[in-house]
Amino acid sequence: MSDLIDAALGELGVRRMLLAIHDVSFPSDPDEDLGRGAPSTKASARLFAYVRALGFTGLQLGPQGQTSRDNPSPYDATIFSRHTATIGVRSGAFADLVPETVLAASVLAEPGGRAQHGRAHDVTQVLLDHAHEQVRSGGRPDVAERLATFRRDHAGWLDRDALFAALGAERGGATFRTWPAVDALLWKPWPGEEASAAKRRAQLAKTHERALDRYALGQLLAHEAHAGVRARCGALGLALYGDLQVGYAESDAWSYAAAFLDDYVMGAPPSRTNPDGQPWNYPVLDPDQYAGAVRALVVARVDKAFAEYDSLRIDHPHGLVCPWVYRTDAPDPAQAVRDGARLFESPDLADHPRLARFAISRAAQLDRSRPRHADRWVRELDADQISRYAVLFEAIAETAHRHGRSRADLSCEVLSTMPLPLEHVLARYGLGRWRVTQKANLDDPTDVYRTENVAIEDWVMLGNHDTAPIFALIRSWPAAKREQWARHLVLRLALRDPARIARLATDDGFLATAMLAELFVCRAQNVSIFFADLFGYDERFNAPGTVSHENWSLRLPPDFDRLHHARLASGAALDIPLALALALEAKGSTTGLAARLAPA
């Protein structure tokens, strides 16, 4: 079947079909389940083979950085350090470095279910303690040698992250903004204090040498685990897409303070998806440092990413081109983000006078009849202005070229909003946007989420980690909404068989699969399928703008294949061969592939 699926994708012009899945959602066998998933588990190796047989050409991973114990959002994770819970218990380094009794005690007594982030965090720390003691005591000179090399090769980011972890532990996890100024400003000292800050860093590194060494060991093992995952995927022909998130962990805000503005932070403006906006509180890259600290940071991130992934998803690229910012001194962040402005499009705003000096757009180019977050707040730009907006994208493009990567492999998460500056920058580099088709407004032929409006370079998907699973969404629709979608799909898929047309009204699985088929019919060469949609989950993975233990916790069971087959049999999961057959028939294929993929 896999050969048939590959042939169908080729005939339909689909170059990439990615399974989107976050680390936490990977399956774990009972003897390796710490309370959350990881791509390094034995069960994950089976998943890689399973999805490749379904025709997937790669995996879109979420950010894989270290999260804090109490905030599991991967979009608040570290930009360089990897999550140590991805170190394999049975299939990785812990099996060689930790006593069996400790390994056995680390796994869940009742495995499975939703992720238990706090538990996984605590258990991983215990495992690292044992592993570090084994290496430090001289029991594993081979690991000690690899560790020394790793510390030398990655000192640029590793020393900073390790020192932050040590100081944070010493201060009970308190935010660095409450630390004494001498340490809070360790990487952005006052003018004239640079030498004393460097001396202080050296003193602290000596004081906390053991903690720094332990942290580095965790990063060595996590990086080696990822290298193993990439090798396994590569052997199957699966590309790995990393996620270059727009946000930064607190450790990054501290370590790279010299690259960030002091008086503004980044959020999401009011939009179709979130009318009130979202106060993310992410640091804003300082335009005054674009030629120095900012460029160095962006290039370092992309260099490391291309060394560890085949391609990249750029999260919220607005943050690299036209970030929406709000003031840090406002008493109410929710109101502040609604009253925010775009960093480079505010030449004369009375409530944001400090942004005027960063303006790229001129006052005469603004449409004052629109809200300042509107896509066409900026009406026009000249070539020089576009180049200024594109400075950080140019750095990414140059780095991609240096690593032998194609720009076409970059995926840009542009959803309902695409301000004119971002539109021009993406066009300059031939990059597309995301089209989340479950959000399509079928009453508006020009709607951005409709597949009729996609470009070849776009990425199409039923949903993503922030949307309702497609089966839950379908079941929530009133009859009129379902009928509207059925009529739409009859036209898009050129359905003529009365039995199939009738199934759209009664069979959730067929309707969802027909919606998937629409992705294969459109012009886009890039398709992404979120794992919850593929496996027919009702549970939501993440509800944006909310804090809940349910967020970031949905994961696959170790018998995911049995689950998928059972749900396919009951019409409760996506049927990729049938979707491809419907798409081939819609496009008038005469190769006979459709009948072989989905026999009548």
Q: Is 49 exposed, middle or buried (0-12, 13-18, 19+ CB in 10 A)?
A: middle
Q: CA 390, CA 368: separation in Å to the nearest integer?
A: 24
CA dist list (Å): 563 to 29, 49, 51, 137: 15, 16, 14, 45
Going along 185-253, which residue ranges are E strands?
239-244
Side-chain half-sphere exposure of 199, counting CA atoms within 13 A: 4
Rounded Cα distance between 7 and 22, Å, is 28
Neighbours of 548 (CB within 10 A): 10
Which of 248, 277, 307 terminates a domain? The answer is: 248
d(CA 458, CA 395): 22
Residue 482's nearest CA partner among 449, 448, 442, 447 is 442
CA 285 → CA 130, 247, 364, distances in Å? Answer: 39, 11, 26
Dist CA 336 CA 319 (whole Å): 17
Q: Could you say which of 226, 248, 270 is where a domain stops?
A: 248
Would you give the DSSP letter of residue 30?
A: G
Q: How many domains does the chain have?
A: 2
HEC string of 305-338?
Answer: HHHHCCEEEECCCHHHHCCEEEECCCCCHHHHHH
Domain for residue 548, yes or no?
yes
Contacts of 198 (CB under 8 A, 6+ apart): none
For the record, the structure tokens of 590 come out as 């005469």
- Answer yes or no: is 425 within a domain: no
Segment (H or E) for 342: strand 341-342
Torsion of CA 343, 348, 351, 353, to 10 degrees: 70
Quick one: the chain helix, strand, coil %, rounded to 5?
A: 50, 10, 40
CB atoms within 10 A of CB 205: 15
| Residue 550 tokens, joined | 């349910």
Q: What is the pLDDT of residue 91?
A: 82
Find all residues with CB under 8 Å of 18, minimum gap 6, and list them: 56, 57, 58, 59, 60, 239, 241, 526, 527, 528, 529
Tokens of 187: 């990487």
Q: Which of 191, 223, 248 is the last residue of a domain?
A: 248
Single-letter residue type at 430: G
In a domain, 71, yes or no: no
Domain range for 172 is 1-62+85-248
The burial class, CB within 10 Å (0-12 / 13-18 / 19+), for 367 is middle
Burial (CB count within 10 angstroms: exposed 0-12, middle 13-18, buried 19+), residue 518:
buried
> Rounded CA gap, 378 and 346, in Å?
10
Contact 53, 38 (CB under 8 A): no
301 in any annotated domain: no
Tokens for 233?
């995927």
Q: What is the pLDDT of residue 285?
A: 98
Say if residues 439 and 274 touch (Cβ distance below 8 Å): no
Partners of 527 in beta bridges: 17, 460
Predicted pLDDT at 591: 93
Assess if residue 263 is contained within a domain.
no
Q: Where are the alpha helices (DSSP H) in 243-284?
A: 250-255
How many alpha carbons fall within 13 Å on the CB side of residue 212?
23
Q: Say how far apart CA 264 and CA 378 lie, in whole Å.
A: 21
Strands (E), 130-183: none
Burial class (CB in 10 A: 0-12, 13-18, 19+), 420: buried
Residue 144 has a CB neighbour count (10 Å cut-off) of 17
Question: Which pTM was predicted?
Answer: 0.95
Residue 476: what pLDDT?
A: 97
Helix (H) or strand (E) run with residue 459 in it:
strand 459-461
- Say if residues 177 and 135 touch (Cβ distance below 8 Å): no
Please indicate, yes or no, if residue 285 is contained in any of the structural domains: no
Q: Which residues, listed in sequence order, are joined to residue 239 by a DSSP beta bridge?
A: 58
The 8-class DSSP code of residue 558 comes to: T
Task: Say if 464 falls within a structural domain.
Answer: yes
Is residue 273, in this structure, part of any structural domain at all?
Answer: no
Nearest-Å Rg of the Cα atoms of the chain is: 25
pLDDT for the residue numbered 562: 97
Q: Do residues 513 and 579 lie in contact, with contact meaning Cβ atoms separated by under 8 Å? A: yes
Tens-digit pLDDT string for the chain (600 aa): 788 999 999 999 999 999 999 999 999 999 999 999 999 999 999 999 999 999 999 999 999 999 999 899 999 999 999 999 999 898 878 989 999 999 999 999 898 899 999 999 999 999 999 999 999 999 999 999 999 999 999 999 999 999 999 999 999 989 999 999 999 999 999 999 999 999 999 999 999 999 999 999 999 999 999 999 999 999 999 999 999 999 999 999 999 999 999 999 999 998 877 888 999 999 999 999 999 999 999 999 999 999 999 999 999 999 999 999 999 999 999 999 999 999 999 999 999 999 999 999 999 999 999 999 999 999 999 999 999 999 999 999 999 999 999 888 889 999 888 999 999 999 999 999 999 999 999 999 999 999 999 999 999 999 999 999 999 999 999 999 999 999 999 999 999 999 999 999 999 999 999 999 999 999 999 999 999 999 999 999 998 877 778 899 999 999 999 999 999 999 999 999 999 999 999 999 899 998 899 886
Give the CA angle between residues 512, 513, 515 to the nearest 5°: 65
Query: Distances from the Cα of 282 to the Cαs of 59, 81, 268, 389, in angstroms?
Result: 27, 18, 10, 20
CATH classification of the domain holding 148: 3.20.20.80
